[in-house]
C-alpha cells in the first residue's frame, strides 16, 4: 500500500531554485522556525498551501507556561504532562519544553503577541489535567490566531524569508539525505534545493469523518516523510477532543477546554452531571478520560451528544460572550442560542501525538530533514497530550531546530546532485472524492476512540480497496492530498493494531489494560 513518489517529471524541464533552509508549513512551528533561523542569519523559504490556514489558528484555549513561580512550578508542569501522557512521555523532552518555554513566550510578547491581562498582569486560566492556572490566552479564546498573526508579521518583515504559496508534493532524497522538495506552484513543477528541510505541516485530522481540524490537515508532511524513508513513531496515538460542537448539519467546531476550566460542567440530556461522582477532577480530567466518559454517557442515554452547561459561569460572575467571544460569535452564526446555557458536544479527532520520529533537536532519521510541531514525535506528549502544550511544543523545538541548523548546516554548500524521480503508473477510474469518503468513514467507524483487533483489521481491508489510487495518474492538489490521507490512515491503523493495550487516547476494548511491554514506542519505516 506504499508509493514512492506521486509524479513523473523530467528533471531537466523542471524549474529549480536554491535556499539554505526550506520550511514546509505556516503554523506556529513553521513560522517560528523560519523566524528564528532568519534572525540567526539564514535564508529561508516557507512553502505553504494556505497562508491563512493551520491548526495553530484554531488553538482557542491558550499556551501553557509557568510564568507564576510563586503559585506554580516547573516540576508541577512536568508532572502534569507526564501524568496525562500515561507512561509514554520522553521525560527529557518534557523537561526541555517546560523549562525553555517561558523565555520563548516572553519573546513572543516582545515581537508583538498580545495576551489578555487582568489588573495589569497576564491572566492565567486552568484547563484539564493542569494542577495550576498556567494557560495564557488572547482575545478570550483566539490565542492561536493571535500568535499566528504576530509571527506572520515578523516573518513578512524579514527580507531573508521568502514565502511561497504552493503544494509540496514530495521530498527529494539522495543517498539517504533529504536535499530538497518538489513543489507545484501556479501549475509549474519547481525543485527547491536546500541544505536542510523542516516539515511543520501539522496533523492528519481530515482522515476522520468528524474532526476539529481545518481542511488543510491532510497529513501531507507525514506521508511525504514516510515515502522518503523517515522513521514514524506512535502513529496510532490520536487524541479525540471531548467537546466538539455536535449540532446537526454544522461543522465539528471546537469548544475550548478553557470553558470547563472557567467552571462549565458536562450534563446529559436530563441535565444531570455524570463525571463528578466518579472522577476526582470531574470535567478537568485529561482529555482521554473525559472523551471516553462522554462516549459512555452518549451510548447509555441513546443520544448523539451531551451538553456543556455554561450557566455556572454566570454564577461566578463570568460573562461567556466576553470571555469567549469567538466561540460565542460562532455559535450565534450557527443559530445556537448559548444564552440558554447548554451547548451540545461530542468527541472529534483532534491531535496526533505520534508522527515523524525526531530527537531532542528535531532531527529525523534522514540527514538534512527536521520535523516540528504536530508532525513530529519525540514522545513529548506520550499517549495523551496535556491541554495547551501544543503551542509551547511548537515554539521550543522549532527554536532548537533553528539553533541546530545554524550550527550544523548553514555553512554547507548545496551540491549539484543527480536526483532520480521516476514512478510507473496505471490509469484507474477512481475519483478523489470517493476515496476520501471511504477513508473518513472507515477511520471514524473502525479506528476511532474505541478500537479492537476486528475493527482495525476491517479498516486495513477497507483502506486496501483504495490502494490502486496510489498508483493512479495524479493531476490535482486534491489527488495529492488524498494519497497523503491514505498513506496516513494506513500508518495510524497499522500502529493501532500493533499496540495491544489501552493507554491514554488509544483504547482497545479487546485489551482494556495497559501493559509495560508497550511503553516502548512503535516505529514504522517504509
Long-range Cβ pairs for the range 150-154 (8 Å, 24+): 150/108, 150/111, 150/112, 150/113, 150/114, 151/28, 151/31, 151/32, 151/35, 151/108, 151/111, 151/113, 152/26, 152/31, 152/51, 153/111, 153/112, 154/31, 154/35, 154/111, 154/112
User: By C-alpha distance, which of 344, 379, 203 is closest to 267?
Assistant: 344
How far is it, in rounded angstroms, from Cα 233 to Cα 380?
12
- Give the SS3 label for residue 86: coil
Alpha-carbon torsion (411, 412, 413, 419), positive or negative: negative
Tell me the three cell numbers of residue 458.
476491517
Burial class (CB in 10 A: 0-12, 13-18, 19+), 519: middle
Tell me the three cell numbers of residue 13.
524541464
**Phi, psi angle pair for 515, to nearest 5°:** -120, 135
Q: How far is CA 387 from CA 105, 127, 443, 492, in A?
A: 17, 6, 24, 22
Q: Which H, E and C letters describe 228-282, residue by residue? A: HCCCEECCCCEEEEEEEECCCCCCCCECCHHHHHCCCEEECCCCCECCCCCCCCH
User: By C-alpha distance, which of 205, 236, 143 is closest to 484?
Assistant: 205
Q: Does residue 287 carry a catalytic annotation? A: yes
Q: How does 329-344 read in b/e, with b if 16+ C-beta sit within 10 Å?
A: ebbeeeebebeebbbb
Strand pairing report for 15-24 and 188-199: parallel
Residue showing cell 468513514: 441
CA 284 to chain centre: 21
**Contact in structure between 380 and 393 (CB atoms under 8 Å):** yes
- Give the SS3 label for residue 171: strand
Q: Which of 287, 323, 499, 503 is catalytic?
A: 287
- Give the SS3 label for residue 351: strand
526 Cβ partners below 8 Å, 6+ apart?
Answer: 2, 226, 227, 229
End-to-end CA distance of the chain: 10
Burial class (CB in 10 A: 0-12, 13-18, 19+), 425: middle
User: By C-alpha distance, which of 137, 163, 135, 141 is closest to 31?
Assistant: 163
Strand pairing report for 188-199 and 369-371: parallel
**Contact in structure between 385 and 239 (CB atoms under 8 Å):** yes
Residues tagged active-site: 287
Amino acid at each position: 500500500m506504499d508509493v514512492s513518489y506521486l509524479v513523473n517529471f523530467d528533471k531537466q524541464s523542471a524549474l529549480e531554485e536554491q535556499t539554505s533552509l526550506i520550511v514546509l508549513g505556516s503554523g506556529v512551528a513553521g513560522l517560528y522556525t523560519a523566524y528564528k533561523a532568519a534572525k540567526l542569519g539564514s535564508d529561508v523559504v516557507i512553502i505553504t498551501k494556505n497562508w491563512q490556514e493551520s491548526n495553530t489558528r484554531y488553538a482557542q484555549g491558550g499556551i501553557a507556561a509557568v510564568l507564576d513561580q510563586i503559585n506554580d512550578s516547573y516540576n508541577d508542569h512536568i508532572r502534569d504532562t507526564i501524568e496525562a501522557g500515561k507512561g509514554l512521555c520522553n521525560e527529557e523532552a518534557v523537561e526541555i519544553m517546560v523549562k525553555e518555554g517561558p523565555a520563548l513566550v516572553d519573546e513572543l510578547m516582545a515581537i508583538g503577541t498580545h495576551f489578555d491581562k487582568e489588573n495589569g498582569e497576564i491572566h492565567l486560566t486552568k484547563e484539564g489535567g493542569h494542577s495550576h492556572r498556567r494557560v495564557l490566552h488572547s482575545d478570550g479564546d483566539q490565542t492561536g490566531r493571535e500568535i499566528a498573526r504576530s509571527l506572520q508579521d515578523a516573518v513578512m518583515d524579514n527580507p531573508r524569508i521568502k514565502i511561497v504559496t504552493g503544494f509540496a508534493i514530495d521530498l527529494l532524497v539522495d543517498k539517504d539525505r533529504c536535499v530538497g522538495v518538489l513543489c507545484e506552484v501556479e501549475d509549474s513543477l519547481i525543485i527547491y534545493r536546500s541544505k536542510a528541510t523542516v516539515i511543520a505541516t501539522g496533523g492528519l485530522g481530515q482522515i476522520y469523518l468528524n474532526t476539529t481540524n481545518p481542511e488543510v490537515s491532510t497529513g501531507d508532511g507525514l506521508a511525504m516523510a514516510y515515502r522518503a524513508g523517515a522513521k514514524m513513531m506512535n502513529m496510532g496515538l490520536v487524541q479525540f477532543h471531548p467537546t466538539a460542537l455536535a449540532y446537526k448539519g454544522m461543522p465539528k467546531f471546537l469548544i475550548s477546554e478553557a470553558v470547563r476550566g472557567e467552571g462549565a460542567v458536562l450534563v446529559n440530556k436530563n441535565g444531570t452531571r455524570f463525571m463528578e461522582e466518579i472522577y476526582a477532577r470531574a470535567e478537568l480530567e485529561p482529555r482521554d478520560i473525559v472523551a471516553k466518559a462522554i462516549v459512555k454517557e452518549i451510548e447509555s442515554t441513546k443520544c448523539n451528544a451531551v451538553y456543556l452547561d455554561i450557566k455556572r459561569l454566570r454564577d461566578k460572575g463570568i460573562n461567556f460572550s466576553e470571555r469567549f467571544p469567538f466561540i460565542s460569535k460562532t455559535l450565534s452564526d450557527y443559530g445556537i442560542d448559548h444564552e440558554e446555557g447548554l451547548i451540545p458536544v461530542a468527541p472529534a479527532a483532534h491531535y496526533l501525538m505520534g508522527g515523524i520520529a525526531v530527537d531532542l533537536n528535531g532531527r529525523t532519521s534522514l540527514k538534512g530533514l527536521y520535523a516540528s510541531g504536530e508532525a513530529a514525535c519525540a514522545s513529548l506528549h506520550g499517549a495523551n497530550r496535556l491541554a495547551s502544550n501544543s503551542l509551547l511544543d511548537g515554539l521550543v523545538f522549532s527554536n532548537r531546530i533553528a539553533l541546530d541548523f545554524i550550527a550544523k548546516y548553514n555553512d554547507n554548500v548545496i551540491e549539484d546532485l543527480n536526483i532520480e524521480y521516476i514512478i510507473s503508473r496505471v490509469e484507474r477510474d477512481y475519483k478523489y472524492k470517493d476515496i476520501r469518503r471511504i477513508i473518513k468513514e472507515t477511520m471514524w467507524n473502525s479506528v476511532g476512540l474505541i478500537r479492537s483487533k476486528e475493527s482495525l483489521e476491517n479498516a486495513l481491508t477497507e483502506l486496501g480497496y483504495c490502494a490502486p489510487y496510489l498508483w493512479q495518474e495524479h493531476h490535482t492538489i486534491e489527488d495529492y492530498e488524498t494519497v497523503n490521507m491514505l498513506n496516513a490512515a494506513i500508518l495510524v491503523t497499522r500502529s493501532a493494531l500493533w499496540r495491544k493495550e489501552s493507554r491514554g487516547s488509544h483504547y482497545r476494548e479487546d485489551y482494556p489494560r495497559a501493559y509495560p511491554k508497550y511503553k516502548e514506542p512503535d516505529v514504522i519505516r517504509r
